[in-house]
Amino acid sequence: MNAPLAAPQLAASSARQGPWTVEAVQALLDLPLPDLLYRAQTLHREHHDPTRVQLSALLSIKTGGCPEDCAYCPQSVRFDTGVEDQQLMPLDAVIEAATAARAAGASRFCMGAAWRGPKQKDLEPVIEMVKAVKALGLETCATLGLLKDGQAEQLADAGLDYYNHNLDTSPEFYGDIIHTRDYRDRLDTLERVRGAGLNVCCGGIVGMGEDVRDRAGLIAQLANLDPYPESVPINSLVQVEGTPLHGQEPVGIIDFVRMIAAARITMPKAFVRLSAGRAAMTDEGQALCFVAGANSIFYGEKLLTTGNPDVDRDRRLLETLGMGTL
């Protein structure tokens, strides 16, 4: 464990810019928690209002039947998880869900489809969904898997604001989790997204059996993207029976908070999203995440296929903390 840094040293170190080495990020994760939180909160206040949280809603517009073998995912066709395959939702149902999300306070609406990547015939109805959601005054986000040349440009022309494509974990641990696409595939899609002028939403998952160095490796990969993502979801594994990762030792809340803080320090201007796994967290645990620099949450009763704290609970929590929304 590193020796505590004096306050002046902490303040000076807040100005550090990348590139971030894995060793440097691991040194952050190893800091005494008060020092780590001080450093994260200092940077958070330089770039954000620490009393405001951005709310995003997430809708699965096409569920199940994915050919990939991501070991955490209940939507893979390779695992028996009880998730029923559903075809692409009709446009009017998506508009109805987006309208309800806006009424509940969400400012960004994310649409996810369980594909390896969209074919052109798949992309065309999604483009109409993006246009319709954008017309409601919401920020738009989509996660559709790997993109081919030209597809990111089509989404950008439709008004898409963000494209989500997570790195999931470190390059070294990735092969233990996924075998049907490699790390380079993911980086190529992120390059296509960035080349089309879209904002990047990219993060990862903790609690999949990785070690601290793998967690540091994930943060370093994200922070060294040029530029780093505008939105960084940090997920705690939601274990689903039937997936290979069911039965993993859950990640502790303090270790999760450390990841939030490391993301904030290395990507100070990003929205750091407290994402999957919130349903299992106490209010106190979530509050600590906000102190560590989280300033975005998925809002609503369901993520793609797994549970999420309901709207009333989130409203009560933010009210108790004296926090508001963006």
Residues tagged active-site: 66, 70, 73, 110, 141, 201, 273
Q: Which of 148, 158, 155, 163 is nearest to 201 (CA)?
A: 163
Distance of alpha carbon 129 from alpha carbon 59, whole angstroms: 12
How far apart CA 64 and CA 228 sit, in angstroms, is: 30
Bridge partner residues of 162 (DSSP): 141, 199
Nearby residues of 244 by Cβ (< 8 Å), 6 or more positions away: 71, 79
Give dist(CA 75, CA 304) in Å, integer: 9
> Residue 67's closest CA among 159, 151, 173, 180?
180
The answer for residues whose C-beta is within 8 angstroms of residue 122's C-beta and 6 or more apart is: 62, 88, 113, 115, 144
Helix (H) or strand (E) holding 100: helix 91-103
Q: Measured between alpha carbons, how far is 16 from 14 in angstroms, rounded to an integer?
A: 6
Phi, psi of 63 (to 5 degrees): -115, 140
Q: Tokens 């919401």 belong to which residue? A: 138
CA distances from 320 to 52, 211, 287, 290, 309 (A): 13, 34, 10, 13, 16
> b or e along 125-142 (b: 16 or more beta carbons within 10 Å of the residue's beta carbon)?
bbbebbebbbeeebbbbb
Q: In which region does residue 242 sit, left (phi positive, over 0), alpha (psi from -120 to 50) or beta (all else)?
A: left
- Neighbouring CB atoms inside 10 A of 274's CB total 26
